[in-house]
Amino acid sequence: MARLAINGGEAVNPNGHIKFPVISEQDKEYVMRALEEGVLWGPYAPQVKALEKEWAEFVGTKYCLSCNSGTAALTMSLAAAGIGPGDEVLSPSLNFVACAMAVLHCNGIPKFVDVDPKTFCMDPKKIEAKITEKTKAIIPVDLHGITADMDEINSIAKKYHLIVIADSCQAHGATYKGKNAGTLADMSVFSLNGLKNLPGGDGGLFNTDDEEYFVRANQCRMFGEVVREGVPRDYNSSGVGYMYRYFELPAAFVRSRLTSLRDDNALRRSNAQYLAEKIGGLKGLAVPHIPENRQSVYHYFRIRFSPKELGISMDPNLFRAKLQKALVAEGVAVSRWQTRPVQLQTLFQERTGYGKGCPWSCPYTSGEKVEYGPEDYEVTKQILADSLVLYDSIYPPNGHDLMDRYAEALNKMWENMDEVLGIEVAPDDMVLRD
């Protein structure tokens, strides 16, 4: 008789999980108070100003700017770094497209570095091979809530005079050698989109200790103008800028969420560590590896699967696709997140850019044809083929009871492996697009 839910058996977790974020009474009060104040917008409006001050204090930097997305914060940082036509910027192959997209927004050329198979962050050993005379900056990403190898990356950057912009969009509250994400690079950025550890619906935060970067990022944020608090606006743009300002109601909401960020992160950590303990003993399964000198905030919980270790001769991508279907049927919210290394997206393969091939064909480039070859995404591709992520099911208020059911579902897979192996998958479920 079939035991797996996908084949008609009883599901382990039929009621799913509580979706994030659960809006609290305090969240509503903060937003209502902002409405009652009657100010809806402005670069120096009370809520955005308070959020910037509180986030700078939380992270421990001199300056913070709020803006309307993490991608905007990346573009502001790159503009502050002076990235322009022909400049090359490194970011990891296992990533959301935002870093490379922000480089293109500055007319720069994105280049990619493969990741470490355990931490999933940019592999410092592979950086130097990608540095050319045109390289100006590195964007390490604190992927899934684990900070990148910042000491190694900063020392390479120093050697080659590169600017480091940390993409901490998934790592609010993470630490590296006791220091907070947000303080580990020349500039750092955070996303406030709806699923982030610090959610605001959408939004972004930029942190730095450097006054010049702060002023330039602020110019990029507002039309290329210098807009000073308490000084009449001159309406004189001196460079290319955007309209990336944040606004009062989401800022008030984020301020409320910030009051519980430390507790929320502690609950995620507790869920993740509990689950890791419960399933870590299953053969052929690897739970996230957190280096001892880092504290993860578990934005995602990535599990890798090895059919080979189980004595199963099957393409890991196909094995992962079968498991994914079976787990989803049991009520376990697993997904793939990205479906391919960033550079295999059409934009980077076709390199049409703004049209006519710009910025790749801009006369300020090195002149060498940019190729995005497999040597920079081998590890990324393996990870995407053989792993799945959990995300909002490990976020509070979900707790150990749900983790127990998730562990039960995984054990059920291992106990009924023949059934798992017999699951049919559509080509779309398993294709790693390239």
Ligand X SMILES: Cc1ncc(COP(=O)(O)O)c(C=O)c1O
Binding stretches for ligand X (CB under 6 A): 69-71, 95-96, 98, 141, 167, 169-170, 191, 193, 204
Q: Tell me how far, at minimum, the Cβ of 144 lies from ligand X, in Å.
A: 9
Q: Tell me how far, at minimum, the Cβ of 96 lies from ligand X, in Å.
A: 4
Structure tokens at 92: 């990891």
What's the rounded Cα separation, in Å, for the pair 262 and 170? 15
Whole-Å CA distances, 433 to 77, 324, 346:
31, 17, 10
Q: Tell me how far, at minimum, the Cβ of 384 lies from ligand X, in Å.
A: 15
Q: Strand pairing partners for 88?
A: 109, 135
Whole-Å CA distances, 316 to 304, 306, 323, 342, 379:
10, 6, 10, 20, 13
For residues 2 and 9, the answer to whether their CB atoms sit within 8 Å is yes
Closer residue to ligand X in complex, CB, 142/330: 142
Closer residue to ligand X in complex, CB, 131/169: 169
Structure tokens at 380: 């990324």
Closer residue to ligand X in complex, CB, 96/319: 96
Position of minimal CB gap to ligand X: 70
**Count helices and strands in the chain by DSSP H and E runs:** 14, 14
Alpha carbon 345 to its chain centroid, in Å, reads 17
Quickly list H helices, 198-260: 211-221, 248-258
Residue position matching structure tokens 């460079």? 239
For residues 115 and 383, the answer to whether their CB atoms sit within 8 Å is yes
Q: Tell me how far, at minimum, the Cβ of 92 lies from ligand X, in Å.
A: 9
SS3 content of the chain, % helix, strand, coil (to 5): 40, 15, 45
Q: Tell me how far, at minimum, the Cβ of 70 lies from ligand X, in Å.
A: 3
Q: Tell me how far, at minimum, the Cβ of 276 lies from ligand X, in Å.
A: 22
Whole-Å CA distances, 93 to 70, 105, 304, 346, 374:
18, 18, 18, 14, 10
Q: Tell me how far, at minimum, the Cβ of 344 lies from ligand X, in Å.
A: 17
Q: Tell me how far, at minimum, the Cβ of 418 lies from ligand X, in Å.
A: 37
Closer residue to ligand X in complex, CB, 172/320: 172
Structure tokens at 217: 């990022």
Whose CA is closest to 243, among 416, 421, 6, 41? Answer: 41
What's the rounded Cα separation, in Å, for the pair 411 and 280? 11
Closer residue to ligand X in complex, CB, 220/420: 220
For residues 16 and 333, the answer to whether their CB atoms sit within 8 Å is yes
Q: Tell me how far, at minimum, the Cβ of 98 lies from ligand X, in Å.
A: 3
Rounded to 5 degrees, φ, ψ at 138 are -125, 140
Closer residue to ligand X in complex, CB, 191/343: 191
Closer residue to ligand X in complex, CB, 198/403: 198
Closer residue to ligand X in complex, CB, 77/219: 77
Closer residue to ligand X in complex, CB, 204/241: 204
